[in-house]
Structure 1
Amino acid sequence: MLFGKLLPREGNFFEMFNQHAEHIVEAARAFSQLVAHYGDANLRDRHTQEVDNAERAADRVTHEVNQTLHKTFITPIDREQIHLLINTMDDVADLIQDSAETMALYDLQHLTEEVSLLTDLSLECCERVRDAVQLLARIADPAVAERALKICEEVDRLEGDADRVLRNAVGKLFREKVDVLELIKLKAIYELLESVTDRCEDVANHIEGVILENS
C-alpha cells in the first residue's frame, strides 16, 4: 500500500502526446519547405536543419514519455497503448528525417511532381494525426470521440491516396526509362514518403483502439 502511495498516480501523458504531435507537424512542414525550395542550396540546408531539430525535439518527448511510464503507478489509458502510441508517433518523425537525409546523401539533383504530391499528402496526414491526438484527453465525451474517429478515417483515406501515388510514380519511372541511378534514388524517396503516411495510419489505428477501449 505504501509503495503505491509513493509512486505518481498519473503522468501528464496527453500533454506530452500533444507536444510530440506538434513536433511531427513541424518536421513535416519543414520538409515541405525543403521540397518547395529544393533548388536553393542555402534554403535547402536551412530546412533540412529544421527537420533535424524537430525530430530531435520529438525524440526528447518520446524519452520523457517512456521514463514517465516507468515511474507512474496509475496511467490514464493502458500502459501498452501509451507505449505503442508514442513510439509509433516517433517513427513518423524519424521517417521524415530519413527522407530529408536520403535526398542529401543521394545528391538528388531534381525533384519530380510525385515527390511534391507525396510530400503534400504526408504533411496532411501529420496534421490530421496531430488533430486526433489533441482530442485524446476528452474522448470520454461521445461527440469528441466521434470526431477523433472521423479524423482517423481521413488519415486512412490519405494513406490510400499516397499508396496510389507511389504505385503510379514507380510505374512512370520504369515506363519512361529514367537513368538507372536516378530511378533508384527517386524510388527510394517515393517509398520513404509513402512510409510516412503508413506510420500515420498506424498512429490513427492506435488512437482508434484507445477510443474504442476507453470511451
Structure 2
Amino acid sequence: MLFGKLLPKDGNFFELFNEHGKYIAEGARSFMSMLQYYSTNDLREKYASEVDAAERGADKVTAEVNRLLHRTFITPLDREQIHGLINSMDDILDLLQDSSEVMALYDVRHVTEDVLRLGEISVKCCERVQHAVSLLPRLNNAEVAEAAIKTCEEIDRLESDADRVMRSAMSRLFREEEDVRELIKLKAIYEHLETISDRCEDVANLIEGIVLENS
C-alpha cells in the first residue's frame, strides 16, 4: 500500500482519542478483575467502581472531543469520522459498565467459565482498540498504517472468537441449566459480553476506513 496523503496535524484530537483508549483498556481490565474475584464482595465492588470511574472519565473525553469539533476550523480527520470514532469508542465503555450493572441487578451469584472466557476476549479486544487508536497520529508512515490495519484484523478475529464462545455457551446453557431464572440471567450476561467485541469491531472498521481514505 502507498500512503502518500498526509494527515493534517492536530494533536488535541489524537491526544483525546489516546486518552479515551486508555480508559477503555483500564475499564476492561477492571471488569475482568471483577469477574475473577466475583465471589469476594469487597473486591467485586472495588473493581466495579473502577469500571464506573473509567466510564465517567471516558465520557468527559467524549464531551471534550465534541466541543472541540465545534471550535476547530481544520480537523486532522473528516468531522464525521471523528464524531463516529469517539462515539463508537464510548459505546465500548458503556457496555462494560452495563455488563457490570446487569450482573449486580440480576444478583448473579457465580461466574461461569464461559463468562470468564468472554471477559478475556473483551479485554484483548479493548487493548487492541487502544493500540490501533494510538497509531492514528502516525498514519503518514506506511509501516504504521500497515500495523493499524493488522491490529484491526486482530480485532475482527477476536470478535469471531467471541461469536464462537457465545454460541457454545448458549448451547451448553440451554442443555444443562435447569434453573430458569439462572438461565435468563446468564443468557443476558453472555449477550452483553459478546456485544462488547462487536463494538470493538465497529471501531476497527472505522479505523480501517480512515487508513484507506488517507492512503
Both proteins in one fold, TM over 0.5? yes
- Aligned residue number for residue 102 of structure 2: 102
Unaligned runs of 5+ in 2: 1-8
* Structure showing greater relative contact order (alpha-carbon pairs closer than 8 Å, 6 or more residues apart): 2
Question: Which residue number corresponds to residue 125 of structure 2?
Answer: 125
Q: Distance in 2 between matches of 1:178 and 1:94?
A: 31
Q: What are the within-5 Å matches in structure 2 for residues 105-184 of structure 1?
A: 105-184=105-184
Asked if structure 2 preserves the Cα contact closer than 8 Å seen for 1:10 and 1:72, the reply is no
C-alpha deviations, 1:129-180, integer Å up to 9, x for none?
A: 1010000000011110001000000000000000010011011111114311
Letter in 2 for 1:108: V
Aligned to 1:13: 13
SS state at 2:122 partner: helix
Paired position in structure 2 for 1:5:
none
| Cα distance, 1:90 vs structure 2 | 0.1
Residue number in structure 2 paired with 1:211: 211
Task: State the distance in 2 between where 1:31 and 1:11 align.
Answer: 30
Read off the aligned partner of 2:123 and give its amino acid letter.
L
1:78 maps to amino acid: D
Does 1:37 find its partner at 2:37?
Answer: yes
Q: Give the share of equivalent positions with the same residue, in percent.
A: 61
2:59 corresponds to 1:46? no
TM-score (norm 2): 0.95
State the Cα distance separating 1:10 from its structure 2 match: 4.5
Residues in 1 aligned to 2:214 and 2:43: alpha-carbon distance in whole angstroms: 45
- 1:18-41: CA deviations, max 9, x gaps? 000000011100001000100100
Q: CA RMSD, aligned part only?
A: 1.0
**For 2:56 and 2:183, how far apart are their aligned partners in 1?**
30
* TM-score, L = length of structure 1: 0.95
CA–CA separation in structure 2 for the residues paired with 1:164 and 1:44: 27
Tell me what 1:91 maps to: 91
- C-alpha distance in 2 between matches for 1:11 and 1:142: 20
